Structure 1
Amino acid sequence: MHARLKPIVKWLALALAAAFSGGTMLTMAAYLYLAPLLPEAETYRYVQLETPLRIYTADGRLIDEIGNRRNPVEFEEIPQVLTNALIATEDVRFYSHPGVDVQSLMRGFYGFLTGQGLGGGSTISMQLSNNLSFDSDNVYLRKFKEIPFALQIQRELTREEILTLYMNTIYFGAGADGIGAAAYVYYGKEASDLTLAEAAMMISLLPCPSTCNPLANPERAISRRETRLKNMLKENMITEAEFNAANSAPVTALRRNRNIEVPAPYVAEMVRQTLYEQFAEGTYSRGFEVTTSIDGDKQLAANRALVSGLERYYDRRHGYRGTNTNYPPESADPRTVWMGHLAPIPTYGNQQPAIVTAIEERSFRALLKNGEEVEVPWDGISWAYAFRSRNEAWPPPSTAADAVQPGDLIRVKQGEEHWELGQVPDIQGALVSVSPSNGQILALVGGYDFRWNQVNRVLTPRPPGSNFKPFVYGAALENGYSPSSIVNDAPFTRGDYRPNNYENNFL
């Protein structure tokens, strides 16, 4: 029997040696092929992180920020609970493997073959290599490149540099690239101030930042946070008491918008279009900072003047157009139904969406989309003469019921002393303020509300209408007419041109 097995063992040993040699040769060939394609260490050690376009007033106040937000942090600013949550979840042998964890790769491959969810095999270094490169490669070539690149990264960077670079380049959803921006967007704080519960929540976003975040799906986010905390508890990174406290912590994440100090969206769009013509998509990532000639105080005054002028001094004078939508209080809990209807409706100008909940003779109550219920007194209703035509509004309301009914979807605005019935103006306007000494634009508003309509009426060619009358009157005064001169209001023609006013009269 021994003699019979000897040739088999011999051929088996030869086959294993051949397989090992072949594998070694293939690995070396792959490395020789991929090595020239891998970036140099200096290109990612000092990687130029994408930063958004920022636009400022002449006195340095932020008008707008366009592009994903990024606030790079140093390793010392990353709290230990955050790196622990990352390592416990993504790469428990981060400090012991050379950049590629063979055990995790084999586990992931086995899970793929058997259809079991055993987790992926990518290490933090492999994920970082994917973040830094290979965006345009197909998925198989990208995975093939990740391994030698991860090995190179781990040889040339310290563990601290790898963690810092990873935290600064990963996307956390809600327009936040990197942990510095994410900490502010979700929690309004510096990354170094994140609590254990908040750190676990941040790490739970990484596989699906847009759909797993606590703003989009709070219940799913809580479940994913618990899994990250359990990972940390399993690795003895936190105690049972710390786990219980963090796991029971409420979700405090809120969407923090950019700290816009002087809203001027039409100005920002003019700047964006100008830069885009020269730099295309680089406009949003190369960190351009543009200082305009806009005077911050004058711009704020211009914003208020145009919105108030269109709402109060023009649109109200033409009457109240009423509502086309009514949600009657048919269910036992109409408030919940009404909140659902209000949720997708935006605020335009000063006009907040609301639904009428109750009516008194000279007042009514309305539900706002934030859940607050406000009272609108008679002083906020009495202006609402019924709209009949462009030039006629009649009759005036005598009771609140003449203007609104329970369930009406309306607009309200916060006045100086009380809430008022409102409506989005059925007209647009524009304002531009120019310095008489040097021609610089000091303030510019291109319409009632940029969210409602993005057409910039300062730039869009339009018939001048009555704006041209001062030039006509000025020319008349220069040519001998006086304020008391009488002109016959009769039709006249110049060739094929016969002018007339909107109302089909003449002068």
Structure 2
Amino acid sequence: MGRADERRARQRGGHRAAPKRRRSTPAAGPADTGSAGNRSAGTGSPAGGKPAKSLIRRMFTWKKILGAFFGTCLLIIAAFIGLYLYVDVPEGNPAAQQQSNVYKFSDGTVLARDGKVNREIVDLSKVPRKVQLTFVAAENKSFYHDSGVDFKGTARGILNTLAGKGKQGGSTITQQYVKNFYLNQDQTVSRKLKELVISLKVDRETSKDDILAGYINTSYYGRNAYGIQAAAQAYYHRDAKDLTVEQGAYLASLLQAPSQYDWSAATETGKRLVKARWNYVLDNMVEEGWLPKADRDGMTFPVPKEPKGAPGLDGQKGYLVELANQQLERQLMTQDGLSPGQAENAVMYKGWTITLNVDRKKQAALEKAVKTELTSKLDTKKRKVDADVQAGAVSVDPRTGKIVALYGGQDYYKHYFSNATRTDYQPASTFKPVILAAALEDNATTQDGKPITANTVYDGTSRRQVLDQGAKVGFAPPNEDDHNYGKITVQNAMNASVNSVFAQMGVDVGMDNVMGTAKKLGMDTKGMQAVPAQTLGSMGASPLQMAGIYATLANHGDKVTPTLVKSAEKTGRSVHMPDPVGGSVLSRTAADSVTSVLTGVVDDGTAKTSVASNPLRNGRQVAGKTGTSDCNRSAWFNGYTPGLVTSVGLFGEAAKTGGTGCDDQPVKKGDHVTLKGAMGGGRVNGGGPPARIWAAYTFGVTDKTRFDLNTTQGAAVAPTPTLSWSQTPSQTPSQTPSQTPSGTPSRSPSQTPSQTPSQTPSQTPSQTPSQTPSTGPPTEPGTEDPLDPNDGFDLH
């Protein structure tokens, strides 16, 4: 290379070119010269040699990568060996870690001690072979030939735990047995690793039959049943040795979610899921060759028997314990990320001391009121219908959200499911205050643009077509006894529970707004349609839900979530329960205005005789609303004083199969049936037994106080104009709701011209024969009285 070439190379490369390497031979021939020239022309090396390797390629060679991989594997294996040698199989937990739970009243007095574990260990030979296989088919088809561990599932469970997802995944029968018998339900990586090691050792040291026996004897099946023998008795009232394959498949299916899959308490979704699980188990048995397909094809789902209460939970104790457990489980699901099954297993018999908000004196007073005003008057020998009467009640302090008393039924042994929390009956007209609350909160107007207030005048004609912007919506509900009220104020319509008025108001407000307000106040509206028929309270609701709604109204619009559990503690653990009182979901003015209007229902409306005229009232200010559903299947009174809200519901539930219902369909045990005729009367209205129970209880435990209302409307702050309306013979003059002086009620053709507001019932003009007192109490829809409302609409 010449000097000019070297200079150009320096300019391009930024450095002086390296001198050429010279061969050692003094003279090169033409061939050598050409070869050297070719080498110097190569790339990647100034001297024309092989290209230099990059730093990354030198660091990450295949040999080094493979070496690192195998090294990591060796470290993991070494660590696992160390863990395997370090972790021993512990002694089995005493009684598989089952302990008594202690439940206390708010004052610390013991309510119940639930610690007698309902379990009887049975030898595997006592369980039919195919029933044994249902558990294998449900949980771990490879059980008889695996090593006791599902490594893939365990790894997924560890990753889920690290990610905070809570629910573990992919455990074998051996792992589940180890978790039940040797360990606990904690959701930690260390517990999962111990489970892995112990499962391998147990599988090596213990026979598969012993592991399966331990698994089915330690598992929890719901209904307070631990082990297959207790489960067989709880669900099918027979011993484990007498179980069929179909029944065994159901019990095996339960282990995934005992409460959710309990047929007697399951929702429609729960029933669908457990049936799918049941089919999955049997199909797996056919696939594994454990069950002939012909036998499988002939099998039908084995509906379990009615449940029985657990020992020691008689009277109201079982209902209180059940709700306390449910609320604690929900908190653990929220706080710890547990699944429903895990939460239930973490609560039942785990040594908790659970203090309730229940006031011992108020609880006794509520039980006494129900007995005095209801159960002592039921005579099943004289009247079959008396056996169909169920009562439920929940009492809440609206300032704190504490459930101070609860009535779930006559006895937990006799009626396993709590009437206080059941949501399968219509709340009927007790839903009407929600419609008014939505109207006031949204500043809604009538069809002609007038603001909706307590004094707004509506058309109270029975069966009046509901209109929306002048168009009929296809809904025209009757009033009680098909009564026409003509022009009537909202206040008086609430007093008399006029269906036609609130049906129109619901459309005026917008049913989406109405149902939205119901949800904000505490009603579970999931799956409910926002249609005008809901204005009659045709959805399902429980006394617990209704107590929460009315408590929120009483608490000036601040959300109240009725809470039974005050505190829950056990060794090394204390669960913090959320505050039952939340922020505002309704303005104070709207809430207080509804309260003011509801005082008129007590003083001048459907609850006057039982509540306002009760000699025990002694000047107490009361707000409330009655409700009676279609066919008189349920009757309600939801009422409150400034310091106590109580919802009382009566429900018609068939005590046995037989006869026909209001819809002319055969009645089965547990069906919804009419309350008519109970206690020797006619129609059971919300202003009757439910209101009397409420008054007997409330007036015995509350002081004389008055509402602090921020409103200028409603009966509590303004005189209520009087209104004459036709009464049934069962009503006294004091029950007569009022009408504004500006209008008189219009009459149907069978009725005489309207009377003046000053007239008393004794002055009521003569009526058609079907309305005279000689006809007796009003009858049910679809029977002999043509003036009763159609089936499907509430009464008042």
- Taking structure 1 as the reference length, the TM-score comes to 0.49
Structure label with greater radius of gyration: 2
